[in-house]
Amino acid sequence: EVQLVESGGGLVQPGGSLRLSCAASGFIFSNYALYWVRQAPGKGLQYVSAISSNGDSTYYANSVKGRFTISRDNSKNTLYLQMGSLRAEDMAVYYCATAASDVWGKGTTVTVSS
C-alpha cells in the first residue's frame, strides 16, 4: 500500500524546536519530490516547504525561511522537517505529500504554547 506516515508532532514552547518525520512505503521514494503543507486550526492549506527527489534543491515559504529546514534520507525512505524558533502562528497539522499531490499523509499536530 502506498502511504506516507508523519510523526514527531507535539507541544512545544514558543521559541522551541521540533523535528517532524514522514516515513514512506509502497513506492520508490527516491523518485519523488515532496512537500510539507500545514493547516492551522479551522483554516485552509498552506505550503511550507519542498524538496527535490535527490534532496539537492530545497524551497521554503517566506513565513518559515531561516527557521525551518527540510531534508530527506532516501536510504531510509524518510522526509524530515526541522522546525526552530517556533511561534504561535506555526501551530497546525503538518502534512507531507508527494509533489504531484497524489499521496498525502494523515498529518501530525504541532502545538506551540507556553
Partner 1 sequence: DIVMTQTPLSSPVTLGQPASISCRSSQSLVHSDGNTYLSWLQQRPGQPPRLLIYKVSNRFSGVPDRFSGSGAGTDFTLKISGVEAEDVGVYYCMQVTQYPQVTFGGGTKVEIK
Could you tell me the three cell numbers for 54? Answer: 535527490
Q: CA-CA distance, 6 to 21, in Å (whole number)?
A: 6
Q: How many residues does the chain have?
A: 114
- Tell me which residues in 29-68 interact with partner 1 (CB under 8 A): 33, 35, 37, 44-47, 50, 59, 61
The count of C-alpha atoms lying within 13 angstroms of the C-alpha of 19, restricted to the half-sphere facing its C-beta, is 9
- Tell me which residues in 62-91 interact with partner 1 (CB under 8 A): none
Q: Are 39 and 15 in contact (CB under 8 A)?
A: no
Give min distance, CB of 45 to partner 1, in A.
4
Give min distance, CB of 96 to partner 1, in A.
10
- Positions that interact with partner 1 (CB under 8 A): 33, 35, 37, 44-47, 50, 59, 61, 95, 97, 99-102, 104-107
